[in-house]
Amino acid sequence: MIVGRVLLFLIGAGLLEIFVFIEVGSAIGAWSTIALILLTAIIGISLVRIQGLQTLMEAQEKVNRGETPAREMVSGMMLALSGVLLLLPGFVTDFAGVLLLLPPVRAALAERFLSRAHVRGDKGHTFTAEYYHHSETRVRDEQDKKGVTFEGEVERKDDK
């Protein structure tokens, strides 16, 4: 049932793009329409790159503080989608891509997505980890040369 909805959405979006292309092309001319599509792609991709680097730096700051950068990861995925939409030829996809470039829109969508996200795991299985940040300029001692040892307990249950 969801496949049918997605297919219907894609067909409708394609028809809408064709309609808008025809209307804009008849108003400003074919070459101007093509130039406008290329211009929106170039400007959009440069904005995606700038905002993507900013989101990456925010995520790195959260990791350094020991926090999970969930919001930044979702925002990064939306920026990637925005880049794809801006590269696709069409004014409707460009409009959707520009909407995803707006930080308040991304924040609202990320909040909605994260509020619905659930962490699932098999019953009885747990995983614990610690993150330690080391400077790149640290001095290696004898223990570093030997390797890293992880301690833990493993329980394996055979399939029945």
Residues 91-141 have pLDDT tens digits of: 999 999 999 999 999 999 988 888 877 544 444 445 454 444 444 444 455
- The domain locations on the chain are 1-119
* pLDDT tens sequence across 21-65: 999 999 999 999 999 999 988 998 899 999 999 999 999 998 898
Helices 30-64 & 91-101 angle (0-180, nearest 10):
20
Contacts 24+ apart (CB under 8 A), 14-17: 16/92, 17/90, 17/91, 17/92, 17/93
